[in-house]
Amino acid sequence: MEAEVRPNVKEMERAERFPLAEIKKLGEMGCCGMLTPEEWGGPGLDTISYVLMLEEVARVHCPTSTALGVTNSAVQVPLLQFGNDAQKQKYLRRLATGEILGSFCLTEAQAGSDAAGIQATAKRDGNLYRLNGSKTWVTNGSAAGVLIVFAKTDAAAGGKGMSAFLVEPSFKGFRVGRHEDKMGQRTSPSVEIVLNDCEVRVENRLGAEGEGLKIALSALDGGRIGIAAQAVGLAQGALEESVKYAKSRKAFGKSIGEFQAIQWMLADMQTEIEAARGLVHYAAWRKDSGQRLGAASSQAKLYASEMVNRVVAKAVQIHGSVGYSRETDVERMYRDARVITIYEGTSEVQRMIIARELLGEGVKSSAARG
């Protein structure tokens, strides 16, 4: 990241260029399929290794870690868990090496947290399904070689009527729609995917009919740890920039790092980062040791995503007016961090999951995304 990506960050951000070349290089190092076993072309590493990788990537360039998070955990993990050998043969190997990127298409304009409320449909027609509807905010959507698309095979069955499909951009009836004009992470494309009688062969259904919600929720459960790791990495990057600036900027004849006000901000930033890192590594360890993940991934995601927003705000404050300039990394970090409390389950949804575990199943929450 230091040698190959940091030197390009300013240019990428100015041109709003998706870092495909950089991701390919990360792919050569195994970063595009960290959790995929060697027999399917990945390095077959554990969740701890995966979160350490995402922390390091996000420390330098958060949008690159977003692309990696989606293709690793939202696409390859469900493919590994629910795909058959033919599907793994066809897609997993190419995803794991970074030859192609994956996308995860659940959200629609009228259904985000309420995942079971999606309206896209998939109607069986002989050897095909015909998919209709449109998906929004699809990360990597304009650069993906395969997309997991969720649609209702039985609209009357609610969440139980949802199924998952492996869709390629070349399939008839598939189209990339509008690109979101975002506050931050502007080099990570978030696009609309339009499905107009999109033809998907039956062999490209992922899992059984009706298993879609289960597949989506299990992907999001693991994905949360990755997003929490991204938050830790981004916050670490902002802290490092702030320490450097506190040592170099002079005011009233001293470096600003000599003022207690600045020292306290730096101390709080580091302490909160380490607390979040502890939660992230604990959740990863639970996953690797085969324990029930429970609310651990939600706690990590909730705390780390709220923490990074506090940290980047302090980083901008420490930089003064320079922190408000597009010339600095902390200005970008401030914008990039904002979405982290929103995607892969909002902070409110994470709190619901945590409370549900405390209070038991008797207290149901309405958000299916959890």
Ligand X SMILES: Cc1cc2nc3c(=O)[nH]c(=O)nc-3n(C[C@H](O)[C@H](O)[C@H](O)COP(=O)(O)OP(=O)(O)OC[C@H]3O[C@@H](n4cnc5c(N)ncnc54)[C@H](O)[C@@H]3O)c2cc1C
Q: Give the angle subtended at the CA of 205 by the CAs of 204 and 208, to the nearest 5°.
A: 150
Q: How many CB atoms lie within 10 A of CB 322?
A: 14
We find the least distance from the C-beta atom of residue 205 to ligand X, in angstroms, to be 18
- Which residue number, 128 or 216, has a Cβ lying nearer to ligand X? 216
Q: Judging by beta carbons within 10 Å of its beta carbon (0-12, 13-18, 19+), is residue 115 exposed, middle or buried? A: buried
Separation of alpha carbons 209 and 162, rounded Å: 7
Site residues (CB under 6 A) for ligand X, limited to 25-64 = none
Q: How far is CA 12 from the centre of its chain?
A: 20
What does the buried/exposed string (b/e) look like for 326-362 if buried means 16 or more CB atoms within 10 Å of the residue's CB? eebbbbbbbbbbbbbbebbbbbebbbbbbebeeeeee
DSSP state of 38: G
Q: Out of 64, 76, 153, 190, name the contact with ligand X by CB under 6 A.
A: 190
Q: Out of 41, 318, 343, 356, name the contact with ligand X by CB under 6 A.
A: 343
Is 113 an interacting residue with respect to ligand X (CB under 6 A)? yes
- Which residue number, 305 or 346, has a Cβ lying nearer to ligand X? 346
Q: Out of 45, 95, 106, 246, name the contact with ligand X by CB under 6 A.
A: 106
Residues 6+ apart with CB under 8 A from 53: 31, 34, 68
Give the distance between the most distant pair of CA atoms in the chain: 79
344 is catalytic: yes
DSSP state of 366: S
Is 165 an interacting residue with respect to ligand X (CB under 6 A)? no
Separation of alpha carbons 318 and 244, rounded Å: 11
Is 339 an interacting residue with respect to ligand X (CB under 6 A)? yes
We find the least distance from the C-beta atom of residue 365 to ligand X, in angstroms, to be 6
User: Contact region for ligand X (CB under 6 A) — 136-144, 192-200, 280-288, 319-327?
Assistant: 136-144
User: Contact region for ligand X (CB under 6 A) — 107-115, 251-259, 260-268, 296-304?
Assistant: 107-115
Is 225 an interacting residue with respect to ligand X (CB under 6 A)? no
Q: Are strands 101-105 and 144-152 parallel, antiparallel or unpaired?
A: parallel
User: Contact region for ligand X (CB under 6 A) — 41-49, 55-63, 102-110, 281-289?
Assistant: 102-110
- Which residue number, 187 or 242, has a Cβ lying nearer to ligand X? 187
Site residues (CB under 6 A) for ligand X, limited to 60-79 = 70
Element (H, E) at 34: none
Is 207 an interacting residue with respect to ligand X (CB under 6 A)? no
Q: Are strands 144-152 and 205-206 parallel, antiparallel or unpaired?
A: unpaired
- Which residue number, 137 or 174, has a Cβ lying nearer to ligand X? 137
- Which residue number, 35 or 239, has a Cβ lying nearer to ligand X? 35
Residue 107, both tokens: 């959200």
We find the least distance from the C-beta atom of residue 362 to ligand X, in angstroms, to be 17
Is 350 an interacting residue with respect to ligand X (CB under 6 A)? no
We find the least distance from the C-beta atom of residue 111 to ligand X, in angstroms, to be 7
We find the least distance from the C-beta atom of residue 137 to ligand X, in angstroms, to be 4
Place of tokens 């959200």: 107
Separation of alpha carbons 111 and 36, rounded Å: 30
Number of residues that bind ligand X (CB under 6 A): 22
Q: How many CB atoms lie within 10 A of CB 313?
A: 17
Catalytic residue among 168, 331, 344, 348: 344
User: Contact region for ligand X (CB under 6 A) — 105-113, 122-130, 161-169, 241-249?
Assistant: 105-113
Contact 180, 111 (CB under 8 A): no
Is 176 an interacting residue with respect to ligand X (CB under 6 A)? no
Q: Out of 1, 9, 45, 138, name the contact with ligand X by CB under 6 A.
A: 138
Contact 19, 61 (CB under 8 A): yes
Is 18 an interacting residue with respect to ligand X (CB under 6 A)? no
Q: Which residues are the active-site residues? A: 344
Residues that bind ligand X (CB under 6 A): 70, 104-107, 112-113, 137-139, 185, 190, 339, 342-344, 346, 348-349, 366-367, 369
